[in-house]
């Protein structure tokens, strides 16, 4: 899915917008969409930079960090990328804009930028993929109260067993004597 920036690149102050619709089942490198990605994206020419804004929601297949089962993780995120207009020099021609090192986009690596833009188009799928990387939980849980693997659950059940409580009380008493 691409957003054509041809007209936006030519005139500062202009912008172009489109809706995002990436079907469920699409695989964006390591992410498989379990629900369609929907939202909007707008690219604006701010004279020295191209400002990309938008918002989208989807769900991706993830592995629960406790029980290791696969589940569908809903995600909602903003799209927010600014790149120097000199990124497009090869398309605009060498005379278009002088290179300005201070104009580098925030936190984006050269590779990120290269992956996002194909000549004069924004790769919306790649934009969404990069946003998923940032939005996905570091410790994914299939549900907030996931009890984890059966072994872990068995351990927790034993800990809560009243017969252990008696032993625990004895233990507490012993440490109280010291």
Output 63 or 114, the one with its CB closest to Zn ion: 63
Q: How far is the CB of 134 from Zn ion (least distance, A)?
A: 22
67 lies in the binding site for Zn ion (CB under 5 A)? yes
Q: How far is the CB of 137 from Zn ion (least distance, A)?
A: 12
Output 13 or 150, the one with its CB closest to Zn ion: 150
Distance CA(106)–CA(109), nearest Å, equals 9
Compute the Cα dihedral for 92, 114, 108, 16 and give only its sign.
Answer: positive
66 lies in the binding site for Zn ion (CB under 5 A)? yes
**Cα 65–68–69 angle (5° rounding)?**
120
Interacting residue with Zn ion among 64, 79, 127, 131 (CB under 5 A) = 64
Interacting residue with Zn ion among 51, 96, 146, 149 (CB under 5 A) = 146
- Let me know if 144 is exposed, middle or buried by CB neighbors in 10 A (0-12, 13-18, 19+): exposed
Candidate segments 50-58, 81-89, 94-102, 140-148, binder of Zn ion by CB under 5 A: 140-148
Residues that bind Zn ion (rule: CB under 5 A) add up to a total of 5
Cα distances (angstroms) measured from residue 114 to each of 10, 23, 117, 173? 20, 24, 6, 66
Q: Write out the residues near Zn ion by the rule CB under 5 A.
A: 64, 66-67, 142, 146
């Amino acid at each position: 899915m691409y957003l054509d920036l041809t007209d936006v690149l030519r005139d500062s102050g202009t912008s172009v917008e489109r809706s995002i619709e990436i079907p469920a089942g699409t695989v964006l490198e390591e992410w498989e969409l379990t629900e369609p990605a929907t939202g909007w994206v707008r690219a604006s020419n701010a004279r020295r930079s191209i400002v990309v804004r938008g918002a989208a929601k989807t769900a991706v297949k993830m592995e629960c960090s406790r029980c290791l089962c696969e589940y569908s993780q809903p995600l909602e995120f903003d799209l927010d990328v600014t790149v120097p207009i000199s990124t497009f020099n090869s398309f605009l021609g060498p005379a278009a804009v002088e290179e300005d090192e201070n104009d580098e986009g925030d936190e984006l690596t050269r590779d990120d930028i290269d992956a996002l833009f194909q000549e004069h188009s924004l790769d919306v799928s790649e934009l969404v993929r990069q946003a998923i990387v940032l939005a996905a939980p570091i410790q994914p849980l299939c549900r907030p109260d996931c009890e984890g693997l059966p072994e872990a659950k068995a351990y927790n059940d034993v800990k809560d067993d009243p017969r252990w409580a008696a032993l625990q009380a004895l233990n507490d008493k012993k440490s109280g004597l010291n």
